[in-house]
Structure 1
Amino acid sequence: MKSSLFLVLLVAFIWIGPSASKDALLEPVSKHGQLSVNGIDLVDEKGEKVQLKGMGLFWSIWMPYYYNKTTVDGVKNLCHSNLVRPMIAVDTQDGGYLTDPDYEDALTDAVIDAAIADDIYVMVDWQDFEAENHLEQSLKFFDRLSKKYGSYPNIIYEPYNEPKTLEWSELVKPYHEAVIATIRANDPDNVIVLGTPWYSQRLDLASADPLANQSNIMYSLHFYSGTHKADIRDTARQAIKRGLPVFVSEYGVVNADGDGPVDKEETALWYEFVEEFGLSTVNYAISDKAEGCAAMLPNSGVEHVCEEAYLTESGKMAVDFNKS
C-alpha cells in the first residue's frame, strides 16, 4: 500500500511540478514559430525554452493507413500533441524506401502536409539501423524533403533513427555530417536530430566527440521503460551536463521489443528525468497492433485515433503526459 501511494505521489509531483510543463495541444507552431538550439535547450523564435510532446506513427511499410490527415488530426486534438513523427521504412523484408521511394515520399508528404495544416511540428524519421550503408538514398530523400519543405518552421529532420553500431566517430558521425550538408544547402535553419550509437542510447559516445561547427542540431535518446533503467538515465544525464542537447525522439512505457506490460514505476522515473531537463518527447506508437506499445486497441480504425475509448494503457499514459 505504501509503495502504491508513493508511486501516485511521485507521478503527481512529476506532472504538476516543478517544471513549467504545459498541455502540448496549446503550444502550436503559430505560438512558437521557428525552433533553434541554444546550448542544451530547444528554444522558440523568441528564444524561450520549448518542450515538444508528440506521438510517433508506426513503420510506414506496415501501417500506411495512418499516414493521413485524419490520423494527424487525432494526434493533435485528442492525443494533445504538438508533434507527430512519421517513421519512414528504409529496408525491410516487405519493402521500404529502397524498394519504392516514390511511395514512401508520398506517405511522408501526406503527414507533413497534414501537420502544417494542423499547426504542429513534424519530425521526419529515416527508420534505419545501418544508414551508413544507404547514404546515397538518404541524401536523395533529405535533399528532396529539404527543398520542398525547408521553408516551413514545422519541419524537424531525423536522418538516422537508431544506429546499432558503436562506431560513432568512424561511421555514424561522418554519415551525419554528409546528410547535414545536404539539408543545409536547402534549409539553413530547421532542427536536425542525430541518432546516437546502440539504438540511440549511448549519448556518452556522442558527447565525447560531438559534431563541430554545426548549428541547430540535437542528439537522440530512445528508451523503453520496461528494459532501460537507471544506467541509461545516468549516461544521458552526464552527456547533457557535458553540454549535449538531447531530444527523446522515441520512447515506450513497455519493453524494448515493443511488447509486455506497462512498467508504471520505471516510466514515472523516466518522466521525472525528462522533466528535470525539459526534454522534448515522442511516444511510440500510433498503432492498433496487439502489442504493449500500441496506443490504440486492436482494430480501432483511423477514425478513432486517440479517442479515449480506444486507447490502450500505454496510450492513456502518453496522452496524460502530453496534457501535463
Structure 2
Amino acid sequence: MNLVKPFLVGCLIMISLSSIAKKDDKTSYVEQYGSISVQNGTLVDQTGEKLQLRGMSLFWSQWGGQYYNKLVVNRLAQDWNVSVVRAAIGAEKGGYEVAPERELKKLDNVIKAAIDNGIYVIVDWHAHDAQNNTDLAIEFFEIVAAKYGHLPNVIYEIYNEPDYESWDEDIKPYAEKVIKHIRAIDADNLIIVGTPTWSQRVDQAANNPLIGKNIAYTIHFYAGTHKQSIRDNVTYALNKGLAIFSTEWGMSQASGNGGVFVEETKIWLDFFDEHNISWLNWSIINKNESSAALKPIASPMADWLPEDLSKSGTWVRNRLLNYK
C-alpha cells in the first residue's frame, strides 16, 4: 500500500488548522505563555489568552525508561514542535512503589530537559488503582511540588486512568486529598484529574466537580475504539464548565494494536482544536504495536531517521509540525 499519498493529503488539510497556541520563534513556549491557569472552563496563558498545548507522552517509566533522557526531550521539542511532554511515572506494577529513587531520577531527567527547552511537562502518576495507596501518591507529589512547583513548566496529573472506580466514592475523595497536599506547597500550577472508565467519563465528573482553582479533567481515547459517544461526554462536560485536557490518546484500538485509524483521529483532533483542548499522543516507545510512535529499531539516543518512526509516529509528528 502506498502511504505517501494519504500523508500528503493530510498535510494539506492540516495547513488550515487552528492557530491557537502558536508562538514567536524567538521565544520558548514557556517564555511566551508563562503560568497556565483555568478561566471559564478553558486553559489560558499568563495574559489571559487561550492556549492549546500539544505534545507526546512517554511510555510507562518502568518499562520505557530508556527514553526518559535529555536527548529524547530535545528531539521532541526541536524537531517535533511539542509544547508539552508527559512523564508517565509508573506507580504500580514494579514502578515507584518498589523503586522510588529510580523512578524519580527518570522524572528529573525529563523535567530538567523540559525546562532547558522551554516546554511544559506533565508529571503523571500512571496508575489504575491510585486510591488504594493514597499516601504513596501524596508522598510522590509532595516531593515533586517541593522541588519544581515554583516553576511554570510543571503540570500535575494525579491519577491518569481509573478503570472501574466510582467518581463520587473513589476518585473524587482521592483527588481532594492529593490536591490538598500539592496546594500546601504549590498554590497555582495546573492539576489534571483522571475520570472513570479509563478516563472516558468526564461527564460524570462534571456532575460533581472538584472545588478549587486551576483544575482540569482528562479524556483519553483510542481512535479505533472510542468515537462519537465519548466526544459527547466531552461536550457535556464542557457545557458544564469543566476544563478538559487529553493527556493520552492513540491512533490504534484501545488495546494499543489493531491498526492505525487516520480518519477517526482527524475527527478527534479537529474536535480538540475547535474546543481548545490540549493533547498528548501515546507514546514514545519502540514497542511493536500500532500506538507506538517508534519502530523497534529506534534508538533511545533519539537520532531517529524517518524510517525509525511508525505509521502513527510519522502522522502525529506531521500534525504537530503543521501547527507552526
TM range (shorter): over 0.9
Structure 1 residue 312: Cα displacement: 1.1
Letter in 2 for 1:68: N
DSSP 3-state at the match of 2:163? coil
Q: In structure 1, what residue type is equivalent to 2:166?
A: E
Q: For the structure 1 residues 218 and 22, does the alpha-carbon distance in structure 2 shift closer, same or farther, using more than 3 Å as the test?
A: closer
* TM-score, reference length from structure 1: 0.92
Deviation digits for residues 224-279 of structure 1, max 9, x if unmatched? 10110111011111111121110010010111111121101111111121111021
1:62 partner SS: helix
2:277 maps to 279
1:186–1:305 Cα change, 3 Å: farther
Verify the 8 A CA contact 1:25 1:77 in the aligned structure 2: no
Deviation at 1:21, TM superposition (A): 3.8
Amino acid at match of 2:67: Y
Residues 8, 297 of structure 1: alpha-carbon distance in 2 compared, 3 angstrom cutoff: closer
Q: Does 1:59 find its partner at 2:36?
A: no
Misfit runs of 4+, over 6 Å: 5-11
Q: Distance in 1 between matches of 2:178 and 2:204?
A: 19
**Counterparts of 1:25 and 1:131 in 2: how far apart (Å)?**
39
Partner amino acid, structure 1, of 2:163: K
Q: Distance in 2 between matches of 1:41 and 1:33?
A: 16
TM-aligned CA deviation for residue 282 of structure 1: 0.4
User: What is the CA–CA distance in structure 1 between the aligned matches of 2:104 and 2:31, rounded to whole Å?
Assistant: 26
Report SS of the residue matched to 1:61.
Answer: helix
Mapping 1:100-119, distance limit 5 Å: 100-119=99-118
CA distance in 2, matches of 1:151, 1:305: 33
Q: Name the residue aligned to 2:248.
A: 250
- The TM-score, its normalising length taken from structure 2, stands at 0.92
* Helix, strand or coil at the partner of 1:165: coil
Contact 2:129/2:163 (<8 A) preserved: yes
The residue identity in structure 2 corresponding to 1:318 is V
Contact 2:11 2:319 in 1 (8 A): no
Give the CA deviation at 1:309: 3.5
Q: Distance in 1 between matches of 2:121 and 2:89?
A: 13
Would the aligned equivalents of 2:57 and 2:87 in 1 still touch at CA under 8 Å?
Answer: yes
**Partner deviation per Cα, 1:54-86 (whole Å, 9 max, x = no partner):** 100011111111111011001111221011101
SS at 2:301 equivalent: helix
The answer to whether the 8 A contact 2:250-2:282 is kept is yes
Structure 1 pair 305–161 and aligned structure 2 pair: CA distance change class (3 A): farther
Decide which of 238, 241, 266 is 1:240's aligned counterpart. 238
- Residue of structure 1 equivalent to 2:171: 172
Cα deviation, 1:208-232, whole Å, max 9, x if unaligned, reads 00012x0001000001101101110
Deviations 1:283-321 (Å, cap 9, x if unpaired)? 000011111111111121022366433211101121122
Q: CA deviation at 1:9?
A: 7.4
Q: How many angstroms does 1:13 deviate by?
A: 4.8
CA deviations on 1:142-166 (whole Å, 9 max, x unpaired) are: 0010000000000000010101124
- The offset of 1:103, in angstroms, is 0.9
Count of residues in correspondence between the two structures: 316
Cα deviation per residue 1:156-209 (whole Å; 9 max; x = unaligned)? 000101011241011100100111011001100100001011111001100000
Q: In structure 2, what residue type is equivalent to 1:73?
A: N
Task: Assess, with a 3 A threshold, how the Cα gap between structure 1 residues 118 and 36 changes in structure 2: closer, same or farther.
Answer: same
- Contact kept? 1:287, 1:296, Cα under 8 Å: yes
Rounded to whole Å, the distance in 1 between the matches of 2:37 and 2:303 is 30
Q: Tell whether 2:36 aligns with 1:35.
A: yes
Aligned to 1:129: 128
Structure 1 residue runs of 5 or longer lacking an equivalent are none
Per the TM alignment, residue 40 of structure 1 is displaced from its structure 2 partner at its CA by: 1.5
Distance in 1, Cα, partners of 2:272 & 2:77: 21
Match for residue 71 of structure 1? Answer: 72
Output the amino acid matched with 2:301: E
User: Relative to structure 1, is the Cα distance of residues 120 and 307 closer, same or farther in structure 2, using a 3 angstrom cutoff?
Assistant: farther
For residues 62 and 6 of structure 1, the distance between their equivalents in structure 2, rounded to whole angstroms, comes to: 33
